[in-house]
Amino acid sequence: MTRLMLGRTLERICKGVLLLCLLHFIIMMILYFDVYSQRFDLFSRFNNGRNGSRNSSAAAGNGHHFYYYNLSRPNATLASYLATAEQLVQSGKSETIQTPSPKPLPPCPENPPGLVGRLLIEFSSQMTMERVQKENPNVTEGGRYMPPDCRPRWKVAIIIPFRHRENHLKYWLHYLHPILRRQRIDYGIYIINQLGEDTFNRAKLLNVGYMEALKDAEYDCFIFSDVDLIPMDDRNLYHCYDQPRHFAIAMDKFGFRLPYAGYFGGVSGLSKKQFLKINGFPNEYWGWGGEDDDIYNRITLNGMKVSRPDVRIGRYRMIKHERDKHNEPNPQRFNKIQNTKNTMKKDGISSLTYRLVQVKRYPLYTNVSVEIGKPPLRPFKG
C-alpha cells in the first residue's frame, strides 16, 4: 500500500516537471520570436534607408507607400507610428510635386480674328518717334515682335531701302507696327541706309538687307517695302506664300489699278528659298526704275508665278514727295531688262559686295548703314 502511494506520488511529480519544462519551452520560444522580430525590423529599416531613392521612386510610380512597424518594441505606441507614417507620406508628396512644363503655343490662325479691314490713312497730323513708341509698347529693341499667344508659320524680316526719308519713316512705323501685330506676325524691321550722296541703288540695298537680317535671326520670309507706301487694308497679310508675292497692286498714284501685268514694284515678298532660287536681286540698277521688272523676269524665268491679293485688299496710299536727288531715272534700264536671262546667274546675291559701317538698334527698328559703291563709268560717246 505504501509502495503504491509512493509510485503515484512520483508519477505526479514527473508530470509536474514535464508541465514545467513545456511551459519553460513555450516562454523561451515567445521570447526568441520577440527578439528575432526586433532584429528583423532593424535590418528592414537599414535596407529601406540604403535603397530609399529606389523604393520611393517605385512607390511614387504606382501611387502606393509601404511601411513596417514593430509594436512589440519598448516604449512604442500606435500614435507615434501613425505620426511617423504621416511625416513620411508628406515628404513623399513633396518629392513627387513637379513644376508643370509650359504647354506649346498653338499655330497662329490663317485669318487673325483681330483684323479691322479697310483703314483710314492720312499724313496731315504731325508724327513723332516718341508717339509711335508709346503706341507700340510690346515692340522690342530693333523693331522686333512675336505674338505671345500663338506660333506664326513664318519668321519675317521687313527690309526698307532708305536715304534721307526720316519723316516718311515715322508715318510708316506709325501705321505698320499696329497692322503687323494684329496680323500675328513674328517680324523684325530693318532700315538699310545708303551712306553718301552717290546714285541710289534700291535693289542692291535690298540684297544687303537680306544678308544683314540673317545675321540677327533665322528668317525664312522677306518683305521688301518702300518707305513711302502704306497699306490701306490690314487683311493684306505680310507673310510669304507658295509663290512670290506682290502686295502693292493698287496704289493711289495709279488710280488703284495695276499699271501693267508684269509690275512688281513697291512692296513684295519672297521666302528664303524663292529668293535664293532667283539669285536675289540685281546689283547693277543704279538710279530709278527697272529693278522691279528685272526681278519679275527672274521669277518667271525660274518657273514661278507672282501671286497677288484681291485688288480691293491690295490698296496702298503713297506719301507724296519730290523725286530724290541722285535717284534720277536710269537710262540703261530698258536694255538691262532685256538681258535678265543672261545676267541673273552672275549678278545677284552671289556677287554682292558692300561695306558695313554701323548697325544700330532703335526701339522701333534696326538701322543698318552701308556703303555700296558707285555706278560704273559710262562709255564716252564722241
In DSSP notation, 250-292 reads EEGGGTSS-SSTT---SEEEEEHHHHHHTTS--S---SBSSHH
Tell which phi-psi region holds residue 196, choosing left (phi > 0), alpha (psi between -120 and 50) or beta: left
CB 155 within 8 A of CB 220: yes
Distance in angstroms (rounded) separating the CA atoms of residues 53 and 75? 29
Q: Can you give the pLDDT of all 382 residues of the chain as single tens digits?
A: 566 666 677 777 877 777 777 777 787 777 666 545 554 444 444 444 444 444 434 444 444 444 433 444 444 444 444 444 455 445 544 445 666 778 899 999 999 999 999 999 999 999 999 999 999 999 999 999 999 999 999 999 999 999 999 999 999 999 999 999 999 999 999 999 999 999 999 999 999 999 999 999 999 999 999 999 999 999 999 999 999 999 999 999 999 999 999 999 999 999 999 999 999 999 999 997 889 999 999 999 999 999 999 999 999 999 986 666 666 767 788 789 999 999 999 999 999 999 999 999 999 999 999 999 999 876 555 4
- What does the DSSP assignment read for 16-54? HHHHHHHHHHHHHHHHHHHHHHHHHHHHHHHHHHHTHHH
Domains of the chain: 129-371 (3.90.550.10)
Q: Any catalytic annotation for residue 39?
A: no
Distance in angstroms (rounded) separating the CA atoms of residues 344 and 173? 33
Which listed residue (233, 234, 291, 347) is catalytic?
Answer: 291
Q: What is the pLDDT of residue 8?
A: 73
Q: Any catalytic annotation for residue 323?
A: yes
What are the φ/ψ torsions at residue 165 (nearest 5 degrees)?
A: -125, 45
Which listed residue (129, 144, 252, 288) is catalytic?
Answer: 288
Distance in angstroms (rounded) separating the CA atoms of residues 357 and 162? 15
Q: Any catalytic annotation for residue 328?
A: no
Q: What is the pLDDT of residue 190?
A: 98
Cα torsion for 247, 252, 253, 259, to the nearest 10°? Answer: 50
Which listed residue (186, 228, 234, 347) is catalytic?
Answer: 228
Which listed residue (292, 293, 294, 347) is catalytic?
Answer: 292
- Residue 54 cell numbers, joined: 529606389
- Closest Cα partner for 36 from 26, 25, 48, 28? 28
Cα torsion for 240, 252, 131, 113, to the nearest 10°? Answer: -50
Q: Any catalytic annotation for residue 321?
A: yes
- The model carries a pTM of 0.73
| Gyration radius (Cα) of the chain, Å | 42
Q: Any catalytic annotation for residue 291?
A: yes
CB 169 within 8 A of CB 202: no
Q: What is the pLDDT of residue 32?
A: 62
Q: What is the pLDDT of residue 115?
A: 97
Which listed residue (284, 318, 344, 347) is catalytic?
Answer: 318
CB 172 within 8 A of CB 237: no
Q: What is the pLDDT of residue 49?
A: 45
* 208 three-state secondary structure: helix
CB 186 within 8 A of CB 157: no
Q: Any catalytic annotation for residue 228?
A: yes
Which listed residue (54, 321, 324, 371) is catalytic?
Answer: 321
In order of 222, 264, 278, 346, the CA distances from 350 in angstroms are: 17, 22, 10, 7
Which listed residue (168, 177, 186, 226) is catalytic?
Answer: 226
- Model confidence pLDDT, tens digit, residues 165-211: 999 999 999 999 999 999 999 999 999 999 999 999 999 999 999 99
Q: Any catalytic annotation for residue 174?
A: no
